[in-house]
Amino acid sequence: MISSRRLALTSLAAAGAYAMLPGAGRALAQPAATLSWRHHPAGPSGFFRAPVLLSDASDAILIDGGWTLSDGRALAEAIRATGRRLRMIYVSQSDPDFYFSLAPIKAAFPEARVVAAPETLAAIQANVQSKLATWGPQLRENGPQTLADIVMPEALDAPALELGAERIEIVPAAGLQNRRYLWAPSLKAVFGGVLLFNRVHVWTADTQTREARAAWVATLDEIAARDPAIVVAGHMAPDAPVDAAAIRYTRDYLLAFEDELGRAADSAALIAAMQARYPGLGMGIALEIGAKVAKGEMRWG
């Protein structure tokens, strides 16, 4: 699996270091930092997830797992290749594609703590059985089948993660339940988790009201105001850039969805309108479910 992945590595280790962002077409000056980061876009077989590994000279933190057990094995191999000690796995979101892949990673690094915000942990505990029932038969041997196969996080009620002398801030999204992003000041980097998408359809089924989607847009404006140099979306096409384009893309998509939702007679019309605006994208299931939920044709959550 890992040989087919497109992995992007940015290392910012000295004052005046420069990072060339894929797709950005220019070098961006960065402040001194001891952190390096690497994202692992999984592509369509892994629901376009993009876990992130943060490292210093000796240790590492993994930001989120992925969707399948093969995704987890690939991540474990990639982490082992760095020579770093995996200290922690931070699960930023309760959706199963953020933690279903954790068993192989935890087996490879048994001393790593697996943690999540109390709100995230409560949401996982509340719906993990239904997620197993829904997705287990589809994933088969490539996914967890029973609760015993799930690596359950422990609660971490903290405003930041720490790696050596570095702090990675955990920033809640105002007006949205169980939504947050991570901000690494020394890298000027945002790791957006479920709040950011890039070149794939945006998952809207969990933000079912106009007010929730407006709060999401407001959070994107807040992220943009930080003027980040690096932005990694939680779901992205493997060749999508890791810069502020992800913020603009997600914001524009949500506004387009709101516009077309008000004009569409039913979910089929909404899907067709969004496909016309955003042709040929992956994660079509996100549009299909989101449209049905938004038009009241399907219950979700």
Residue with tokens 């790791």: 191
CB distance 234 to 93 below 8 Å: yes
- 82-117 core/surface letters (b: 16 or more CB in 10 A; e: else): eebebbbbbbbbbbbbbbbbbbbbbebbeebebbbb
CB distance 78 to 48 below 8 Å: no
Interatomic CA distance for residues 200 and 46, integer angstroms: 13
Interatomic CA distance for residues 19 and 241, integer angstroms: 13
Tokens (6 digits) for 176: 């949205």
DSSP 177-207: TT-EEEEEGGGTEEE-GGG-EESB----TT-
| Position 6 pLDDT exceeds 80 | no
CB distance 225 to 124 below 8 Å: no
Interatomic CA distance for residues 86 and 62, integer angstroms: 7
Domains and CATH numbers, the chain: 2-14+31-294 (3.60.15.10)
Interatomic CA distance for residues 195 and 232, integer angstroms: 10
Residue with tokens 């042709």: 279
Q: Which of 169, 155, 153 is nearest to 112 (CA)?
A: 153
Interatomic CA distance for residues 104 and 41, integer angstroms: 18
* pLDDT tens digits, 194-248: 999 999 999 999 999 999 999 999 999 999 999 999 999 999 999 999 999 999 9
> Would you tell me how many other CB atoms lie within 10 Å of the CB of residue 195?
25
CB distance 291 to 272 below 8 Å: no
Mean pLDDT, residues 129-150: 96
Amino acid identity for residue 240 in this structure: A
Mean pLDDT, residues 173-192: 96
* pLDDT tens digits, 252-297: 999 999 999 999 999 999 999 999 999 999 999 999 999 999 999 9
pTM of the full structure = 0.87
CB distance 198 to 246 below 8 Å: yes
3-state secondary structure of 150: coil
* pLDDT tens digits, 22-66: 333 333 444 445 899 999 999 999 999 999 999 999 999 999 999
Q: Which of 207, 217, 201 is nearest to 286 (CA)?
A: 201
Tokens (6 digits) for 291: 């449209």
DSSP 233-262: -SEE-TT--SSTHHHHHHHHHHHHHHHHHH
Residue 146's pLDDT band (boundaries 50, 70, 90)?
very high
